[in-house]
Amino acid sequence: CKGINGLDKVVLGEPRGASAEVYLYGGHVTSWKNDHGEELLFVSSKAIFKPPKAIRGGIPICFPQFGSHGSLEQHGFARNRFWSIDTDPPPFPTNSKSFIDLILKPSEEDMQKWPHSYEFRLRVALGPGGDLMLTSRIRNTNADGKPFTFTFAYHTYFSVSDISEVRVEGLETLDYLDNLQNKERFTEQGDALTFESEVDKIYLSTPTKIAILDHEKKRTFVLRKDGLPDAVVWNPWDKKAKTMADFGDDEYKHMLCVEAAAVEKPITLKPGEEWKGRLELSTVPSSYCSGQ
Ligand code: BG6
């Protein structure tokens, strides 16, 4: 069906009430709601749903480059390309009845920027319990025998009630690259992460499970990932927020990006090879997670 500004979107639904929305522009998940119809992802009220701007919020796909870690435009170009519905995807098992398969292939213009041929298949699925699952399968289809190398992220914007009440568990004591300090490497000290200023860090070789605890909502997001060793944590805070035209001045209080990513060690594919990167998001009541 049609979304904002007439852009095509696909709506996934699950009998108990959970839903998700995916824009073909960007292959971009813009909504994930639980059984009670509560929105779990943050999308800015100022988001611009108009190419070539990437949608501010939801789950942008960063490919073939994460951030400024390379010579391409920030976060690569997959997030502002028009994807197609993949009507005949290679078989891939799922326990979900509600899913959509999208595909992105390079245009001639893309090949001038990044001279590689690929098929990027993205499956977005809603599990029976309302879990959101994204699977990316990227295949090198270069005919010239050349390998290619890329970095990647599911740039997920979680909706939180109050950033100063949020904790992230699973990243303590890990090494990270700090984008606010020339990508220098540091080691996280102490306990779960809490937030009181701008943060833009790439945690390296992280566990496959990360939890985001929202005390006020009594909700914990559980992020599970596969094939994506790193995790980016980003919140622009007040000053940076004011410099972003598509982000409200106070919206930083209500969002946190925790991004399953492959940045430090780029992925190389030879012709015919395929890489798979999976993200699974679910929620549990906080009391369950913290054992109270
Ligand atoms: C994060 C990066 O993933 O995305 C930040 O680590 C960046 O450095 C942020 O500012 C937002 O990027 P963009 O291109 O969507 O404004």
Exposure string over 76-105, b if 16+ CB within 10 A, otherwise e: bbbbbbebeebeeeeeeeeebebbbbbbbe
Q: What's the number of domains the chain is made of?
A: 1
CA–CA gap between residue 199 and residue 177 (Å, rounded): 11
pTM, two decimal places: 0.97
pLDDT in tens, 10-29: 999 999 999 999 999 999 99
- Provide the 3-class DSSP secondary structure of residue 222: strand
pLDDT in tens, 85-107: 999 888 888 888 899 999 999 99
CA of 281 to the centre of ligand 1 (A): 21
The CATH number linked to 171 is 2.70.98.10
Tell me: pLDDT of 290 over 60.
Answer: no
CA of 67 to the centre of ligand 1 (A): 6
The per-residue pLDDT for 182 is 96
Rounded mean pLDDT of the chain? 96
pLDDT in tens, 54-72: 999 999 999 999 999 899 9
Tell me: pLDDT of 247 over 80.
Answer: yes
* Structure token pair of residue 251: 């919206």
pLDDT in tens, 102-136: 999 999 999 999 999 999 999 999 998 999 999 99
Which of 55, 66, 180, 200 to mutate to test ligand 1, by most ligand atoms within 8 A of the CB atom? 200
Ligand 1 atom at shortest distance from the alpha carbon of 259: 3
CA–CA gap between residue 117 and residue 211 (Å, rounded): 36
CA–CA gap between residue 229 and residue 217 (Å, rounded): 29
Contact in structure between 49 and 3 (CB atoms under 8 Å): yes
Residue 56 annotated as part of some ligand binding site:
yes
The per-residue pLDDT for 292 is 37
Tell me: pLDDT of 287 over 70.
Answer: no
* Structure token pair of residue 239: 């000053």
User: For residue 237, how many other CB atoms are within 10 A of its CB?
Assistant: 16
**pLDDT > 70: percent of the chain:** 98
Ligand 1 atom at shortest distance from the alpha carbon of 153: 3
Domain housing 201: 4-290
Looking at ligand 1, which residue's alpha carbon is closest to its atom 9?
234
